[in-house]
Structure 1
Amino acid sequence: MTNTNKIIQNILTSRKRLPHTKTPVNKSNEEGGCGVTGFMANIPIAGRHIYEPSVQMHNRGNGKGGGIAAVGLSASDLGIPKDVLEDHYLLQVAYLDEDVILKVESTNINPLFDIYKSEKIPTIDDYTSIGLEVKPPDVWRYFVRVRPDVLEKFIRYNHLYKMDKKKAEDEFVSQNSFRLNQTYYASLGEKQAFVLSHARNVMILKVVGYAEQATQYYCLDDFRAHGWIAHQRYPTRGRLWHPGGAHPFSGMHEALVHNGDFANYHAVCEYLNQHNIYPQFLTDTETSVLLLDLYNRVFEYPLEYIIEALAPTTEYDFDCLPPEKQQVYKYIQSQHMTGSPDGPWFFIIARNDPYHDLMQLIGITDTAMLRPQVFALQERDDVQIGLVCSEKQAIDATLQSIAAEDHRFCPIADKYWNARGGSSTDGGAFTFTIKDSGKGDGSKKLITQNKFGEIVQTPEGQIHYDITIDLSDSFKKNAQTKKITNLFNTNDLQGIKQYCSSQFTVLDFQDIRLVCGTIETLAEENDGKKAMAIDLLTHLNDRIFPTDNKKRSSVLQIIRESLTTIFKSSPKIGNNSNSMYAYIDRAGRKDLRGPQGNEKILVVNAKEFEPEGKNCDSRMINKAYRLGWKQYICYGYKGQRFTGCGLGPDSDDVRFDVYDSSGDYMASGIDGMEIHVHGNAQDQLGQIMKRGKFVVHGDVGQTFMYGAKGGEVYILGNAAGRPLINATGKPRVVINGTCLDYLAQSFMAGDPLNGGGFVIVNGITFDDNGKVIDLTMPYPGSNLFSLASGGAIYLRDPECKVVDEHLNGGVFTEVTKADWDLILPYLKENEKLFGICIKTDLLTIDGDCLPFNKVYRKVMPKSALETKKN
């Protein structure tokens, strides 16, 4: 037996001596989605910035369990020297019963540790003042090191002589926390105390409430850390309505939050039991972090192997791996598949690695990708931040909150993306790592990598802009402003669009701001110029044009600020003006009435509306429709849901233009209306859609068009997992990017050549200069057209990269002239909407314009093909 194996065996044997309670099998409660969010920056960020994204995901929680964790803490905020923070364990104990504080300290703290500092964490005086119904526990924090004699005795007794002494100290701290929890929590009916966290440079706090209430109650608004994570909703298993059962959970030097529920919870517990590990809080989230700790600290697997053990690579993705990686992964799966979490789950992990002097934020999704997730990255001159959340709107809320205080940050990320669990391309996991910059000044840098260690980054050499610079005295001095004014006076909207698209490539930020400021001023002259201004700025917002050395996110920030200014300048509905525009927000909803005079467009500022329920913007819009409003500009979204829903049948004369961070379920059940989303959209869009037109100038999230029955839909970017599942009737959909997996599963849309439905997947994206390029793989996932019985998929795949292994019940067949005549009108509309040229961008391959049947392939249900042959 090697020294490593001996150490592992001795660690596990030592744990066998710990008192424990056999994990019972318990039914999950209220299965469903949680709200998880996190970010990691190269500079410390105040705790109040985890507040807004947490608040905006209340509809993913229930107020019965929430928590936060911070990593890379500020020594000055804790009142200790930096070397103490880095060397000592931050042991945090939650006391539910004040009478046991002295007892706990006398048994599990004072005799075992040298204590540098101990103190009760400050709290607000009245917990009910922030809406809490259950008083959170008093939390004491202890900065400790294991006493040398105690550690030596522990090493001798457990035969850990060959183990690194610091790692042996980690094991002692972990086992001591287990004993404390067993005595004062797990073995009792009435709980008295439990360990929240015991890591170096990591802190966890949780309450029976919402996540942001933990930051409020424990006075963390100004407390700074490099990384923060949060979780809304009590666990699906374990002790509910109890702070001990809320997320995050701690392993050793990490904190983990989890959205989902394990179908094999008992099997995972049995796997842990075989290694003498016994969960105490009885929730699947706890077992998740125990698995992580086992693989990381006991087996000492590299992060890639930990991810593989948790989310194994299977099927065609496994076949696509290099042979040497297949060999390693096959061994990992043979040892750990029985302990791999099964069912819907998504993890966000914040951890400190004191042995390599780095901190990490990690997002891992399950191989079936059954829970939503969005990653984002922003890289600026001297600040960088990585983010991962259940919803994109929570990412935007985080950036907006930070950017409002620190203008080095932008409220728009440079890059957004989804992960595909278990994939051979990115592994379904991404890591944001903070380490020393190497400049010798103590500064940090952020590195973003996928599971395989490949770097993810934004375009190099680009600069950002501080939008707070005052340009009020510069407008009349700029030649560009005069040119824009002259073009507006000619009413040549197409010419203005072409001019601005080309000029925004070469102009610097200041000139772009001046041009947009001029457009704002022109919009004030009359409704005609206002309509032109909105159309122009929307075009610039939607189209992907070259930005030269400028960050596209900064250009978008300028454009969107101008759009917001123009929208907000619309006459308030209570003023009864003669404009075609009428503005309404939550404060003015009492003035809602039908359109009068020239009024045609209701401008809805959704910012202060609730995301759903009786006071949401969707309910107000529904009422406005009954009063006669047919055209809507909706902006200021912060995740508000159900836009366009509930208007009933035959809404053909209704149009929505939606800006900013819209929420889930948009366009669900619509019957005839037209909705344009000017940016990325979120999950569950277009569900059971019957008729209408739906255009998204960006990506869409999970379960897009679930159960849809019809409609004409155009997506500029990608769809995440499970689009068009169980769709029937005749939906006609163009997706210019790709889908991550399970596209059109159980599709039942008849024969497309006889009025049925279909999906076109173009498999393209845009390079840094705004040029259309092919994706590496037109469709990377599995189960393409799985179990479909009708309809078709027209896949742009000139190199035939998609193979039979991607399919499940579908078959490839040639695209006929009839097929091309069917889809060509939709590709022409796609060209009109997004500027994606059929001839040069879609049919031209390596410089040659090819026939349509050499570029596109058709996927049909096997049963439909057999019927056709017969």
Structure 2
Amino acid sequence: YTSEIAEFAEEESAKHRDPMRDSLTIDELIRMRRYINEHSYERNKHLYIDRKHKIAAVMSCGKNFGTWKTAGRVIPWQTPNAPNNIIHVRLATGSVVEQMNSHPFAKLHTALTHNGETTNFEALKQRVEQFNLSPLASTDTEVAALKFHLIADEWAYPDWAVFESLSPTTGDDLALLNENLRDQLESVQRVEFASSPDGPYQYLCLRHDPYKKVTERVDLKDPADLRPNVTAFWKDENGRKKKVFTMIASEEQAIKKMLKLLDKEGLIDGAAADLTLSSSGMISRYMYDDDSKVKDFQFIDRYGKPIDLNGYGQHYSIRRAKLTEPERDFKGWERNYKIFITKELEKLSFNDIHWLLQQLVESADTQNRFEKHLHILTWLRDYIRTINPGKKAISSLVDMADYFIEKILDRVNKGSYAGYHYYSRKAGLEFDEKGNYGRTLVLNAEGFLAEGTDPDYVLAAFLNRAYELGWRKFIIYRLHGQRLVSTAVMGSGDTDDVEMDVYGSVGEYFGAFMQGGTIRLHGNAQNFTAMCMHHGNLYIFGNAGKVCGYGSKGGKVFIMGNVVDRVWTNSVNDCRTQSLEIMILGSATKYAGESLMGGNFFFGGMHFDEKGQLRLNERPYLGTKMLGGASRGKFVFFDPENRLHEAQYTHGKITGFSDDDWNYYNQKIRETFQLSNIPLYRKNDGEYLNVEGKMVEFNRDVFKLIVPKGGLKGYESH
């Protein structure tokens, strides 16, 4: 860096060294650096572009920063003691598969890896070539890496300007920002918009400043939110050292796998994230000392606003903790478990809860006790986030519930419950057990592939085989990303008699193409949930992902969390089947209900915090462009503080509730609250909801009904 060269020259000058020994002046050093920076690419093109087999494959990086491209060889785990060592084996998928095109692409103090495609490759290429940064590889990823290097390292753009250069804020989204920030963003766009990437893309970037002793991960994605991502946080400040982890993946099961490995190695306590969300862009920044040890952290969003992580409490590893018998006698607590847990959870220790849940599993010696104890554990899994945990981290309590649900379902393998049959791929046997309506198939999903057509190896195909053998009731657990867990794979007609409880990390297309039946997911769903649903009942006690409900014709869906973009696009309320009824406790982001042709929707716009307190989201609807091109359908939002902005529903209009509308939504909103463990309190002939510690009266005045304006306006909203 020029600053380092200048500092070195000043130090040497202060020592009054002999000028005859200093063969280079500071000006000459600066010119040398500029020459290396500006001409190294064009002087070495012959090693890359014009050769069938490239000679050079790995570029050297800056200070305390190394990239290892292994091309399938042994990974050099004995890496230097630097804050950043990137080890990556992903080859390019959209261009020539060779070492030079493998990710990441690293420059002096930046590196970038890419999922997606850049459709305006030439525009980016022309921009970086203006500054002698011609790409040497034949993939669009390096062009993006060069631009990131240019703006984030060479020019040192502010954080918000880096995001705006690679993922510009446009249209109605600008209207949601304050005026000063809007002017700043537009000033960057006037310079960089023509060369900002276009198409579906997610960039994971590393930026390193060895002189300020800062290293950071920059998460960038396309402004239309076309690429999926899941971001998770784990934070604990109760031990000797402050610990914080942030992870990002395209699907949640990857994050869960990483958390389990971190817990196994003792780096964290518990294998569940404190916070999971879908980010539109953020920076995870870490500051380190002279010994390359991280000493502090900062998270900021794409506009430079700090992301404050709450104090999530003390964590606990159910897999590594030593259990001791508690002094208190808890005999009979399970008879009134809801009251007991709600009142006592704040005071109970992790050891107490560990003991109680383990006793539930060990005492499930009859089918009646098994069913009752599984019900208690499932209730705890679904609603633990709605109860004050005291000083304990809710994530660790969720992890404990998941752990003991797996343990109690493992007991079915012993064959002691006549109403249940157990199957796992570990048995290595072909499944040919005949089912009947009274028995339940308990299916351990461990080892099943995520997708395919062979029922011996693929979960969705196996469910079809089980259905043909007569099975109608299912409990599926230990899922790890398997796709299309749905009644859709069962036969060619209606499946109204199917009932399914699902535990674990489901993959995409959960509940998609349903032709009837009831499915309950005790956890988070992912992208394309309820896609093309015809009819049936789908209950999700967690978040869901992108493009939920696309092309649906009917069905009832409850989601006890947030959803992302493009939910129920191109859906219709088909009068020949079950009405389309959607109940979401949280919020959606962008493009909700595009080209919608019917259906009734409720968005609560709420979440539970780390103390189990019900709180409002930033807005009932988090983004813009709802109901673009829609002709029918009704969106109802809980908005007691009038947080909805008119820029969010430019393609819709607020209208009053008719008596019929309110009678219908009154029932559905109450059902949403009941399914979310949210009580309504009676006072002075009214009913009240406790939100953020304040009592909000439950009546039609705190809800907004939005319907489409109609017409073609909205199709150009992209």
Q: Structure 1 length as normaliser, TM-score?
A: 0.72
Contact 1:478-1:514 at 8 Å conserved across structures: no
Give 1:861's aligned residue. 708
Listed as ranges, the matches of 1:546-585 within 5 Å are 546-571=388-413, 579-585=418-424
What do residues 578-606 of structure 1 show as CA deviations (whole Å, max 9, x unaligned)?
Answer: 52222211123625233568962211111
> Is structure 2 residue 477 aligned with structure 1 residue 635?
yes
Query: Deviation at 1:550?
Result: 0.5
What do residues 643-673 of structure 1 show as CA deviations (whole Å, max 9, x unaligned)?
Answer: 1141143211212211121111111111112
SS where residue 97 of structure 2 aligns? Answer: coil
Q: Distance in 2 between matches of 1:570 and 1:150?
A: 80
Give 1:721's aligned residue. 565
Q: 1:451 to 1:512 in 2, by over 3 A?
A: same
Q: 1:150 to 1:277 in 2, by over 3 A?
A: farther
SS where residue 535 of structure 1 aligns? Answer: helix
Q: Please, which of 578, 594, 608 is the counterpart of residue 433 of structure 2?
A: 594
Query: Deviation at 1:741?
Result: 0.6
Q: 1:268 to 1:443 in 2, by over 3 A?
A: closer
Identity of aligned residues (%): 26
Give 1:646's aligned residue. 489
Contact 1:580-1:598 at 8 Å conserved across structures: no
Listed as ranges, the matches of 1:7-406 within 5 Å are 156=28, 160=30, 169=33, 174=37, 178=41, 181-206=44-69, 214=72, 217-220=74-77, 234-235=91-92, 237-238=94-95, 240-380=96-236, 381=239, 382=241, 383-406=243-266
- Given residue 501 of structure 1, which amino acid in structure 2 is its aligned partner? T
Q: 1:234 to 1:748 in 2, by over 3 A?
A: farther
SS where residue 375 of structure 2 aligns? Answer: helix
- Given residue 366 of structure 1, which amino acid in structure 2 is its aligned partner? D
Q: 1:354 to 1:844 in 2, by over 3 A?
A: closer
SS where residue 710 of structure 2 aligns? Answer: helix
Q: 1:151 to 1:434 in 2, by over 3 A?
A: farther
> Is structure 2 residue 629 aligned with structure 1 residue 787?
yes
- Given residue 526 of structure 1, which amino acid in structure 2 is its aligned partner? T
What do residues 267-321 of structure 1 show as CA deviations (whole Å, max 9, x unaligned)?
Answer: 2222222333322213221111111111122222122211121112222332333
Q: Please, which of 483, 489, 499 is the counterpart of residue 655 of structure 1?
A: 499
Listed as ranges, the matches of 1:309-708 within 5 Å are 309-380=165-236, 381=239, 382=241, 383-406=243-266, 408-419=268-279, 428-436=280-288, 442=293, 444-460=295-311, 462-468=313-319, 471=322, 474=325, 478-480=328-330, 482-484=331-333, 487=334, 492=335, 495-523=336-364, 525-543=365-383, 544=385, 545-571=387-413, 579-588=418-427, 590-595=429-434, 600-613=439-452, 614=454, 615-644=457-486, 645-648=488-491, 649-708=493-552
What do residues 221-278 of structure 1 show as CA deviations (whole Å, max 9, x unaligned)?
Answer: 898875676778654644x221211221113212211111122222222222233332
Q: 1:337 to 1:497 in 2, by over 3 A?
A: same
- Given residue 399 of structure 2, which amino acid in structure 1 is its aligned partner? Q
What do residues 15-42 of structure 1 show as CA deviations (whole Å, max 9, x unaligned)?
Answer: xxxxxxxxxxxxxxxxxxxxxxxxxxxx
Contact 1:843-1:849 at 8 Å conserved across structures: no
Give 2:16's aligned residue. none
Q: Distance in 1 between matches of 2:68 and 2:432?
A: 47
Structure 2 unaligned segments of length 5 or more: list them.
9-20, 574-578, 681-686, 714-718
- Structure that is richer in helix per residue: 1
Query: Deviation at 1:675?
Result: 1.2
Q: Distance in 1 between matches of 2:394 and 2:693?
A: 28
Q: Please, which of 569, 576, 580 is the counterpart of residue 731 of structure 1?
A: 580
Query: Deviation at 1:334?
Result: 0.7
- Given residue 371 of structure 2, which amino acid in structure 1 is its aligned partner? A
Q: 1:204 to 1:230 in 2, by over 3 A?
A: closer
Contact 1:843-1:855 at 8 Å conserved across structures: no
Q: 1:805 to 1:286 in 2, by over 3 A?
A: same
Contact 1:377-1:413 at 8 Å conserved across structures: yes
Give 2:576's aligned residue. none
Q: Distance in 2 between matches of 1:740 and 1:809?
A: 15
Q: 1:150 to 1:233 in 2, by over 3 A?
A: farther
Kindly tell me the number of residue pairs found equivalent between the two proteins: 675
Q: 1:196 to 1:560 in 2, by over 3 A?
A: same
Query: Deviation at 1:627?
Result: 0.8
> Is structure 2 residue 605 aligned with structure 1 residue 759?
no
Query: Deviation at 1:676?
Result: 1.1
SS where residue 280 of structure 1 aligns? Answer: coil
What do residues 554-585 of structure 1 show as CA deviations (whole Å, max 9, x unaligned)?
Answer: 1112222111110111126xx6x652222211
Moved over 4 A (4+): 149-155, 171-177, 221-234, 440-443, 468-473, 595-599, 842-846
Give 1:92's aligned residue. none
Listed as ranges, the matches of 1:770-809 within 5 Å are 770-809=612-651
Structure 1 unaligned segments of length 5 or more: list them.
9-86, 88-148, 162-167, 209-213, 420-427, 750-756
Give 1:25's aligned residue. none
Q: Distance in 2 between matches of 1:671 and 1:224?
A: 56
Q: Distance in 1 between matches of 2:30 and 2:401?
A: 62
Greater RCO between the two (CA within 8 Å, min separation 6)?
1
Q: 1:844 to 1:373 in 2, by over 3 A?
A: closer
Q: Distance in 2 between matches of 1:224 and 1:725?
A: 49
Q: Structure 2 length as normaliser, TM-score?
A: 0.87
- Given residue 582 of structure 2, which amino acid in structure 1 is its aligned partner? V
Q: 1:469 to 1:186 in 2, by over 3 A?
A: closer
- After alignment, is 510-519 or 171-180 more displaced? 171-180
Query: Deviation at 1:705?
Result: 1.0
What do residues 699-725 of structure 1 show as CA deviations (whole Å, max 9, x unaligned)?
Answer: 111111111111100011100111111
Give 1:120's aligned residue. none
Contact 1:177-1:195 at 8 Å conserved across structures: no
Contact 1:375-1:416 at 8 Å conserved across structures: yes
Query: Deviation at 1:778?
Result: 0.9
Q: 1:400 to 1:196 in 2, by over 3 A?
A: farther
Contact 2:274-2:312 at 8 Å conserved across structures: no
Q: 1:797 to 1:248 in 2, by over 3 A?
A: same
Q: 1:226 to 1:673 in 2, by over 3 A?
A: farther
Q: Distance in 2 between matches of 1:190 and 1:468?
A: 50
Q: 1:705 to 1:151 in 2, by over 3 A?
A: farther
Q: 1:578 to 1:696 in 2, by over 3 A?
A: closer
Contact 1:174-1:252 at 8 Å conserved across structures: no
- Given residue 370 of structure 1, which amino acid in structure 2 is its aligned partner? L
Q: Distance in 1 between matches of 2:400 and 2:691?
A: 35
- After alignment, is 710-719 or 313-322 more displaced? 313-322
Q: Distance in 2 between matches of 1:589 and 1:862?
A: 58
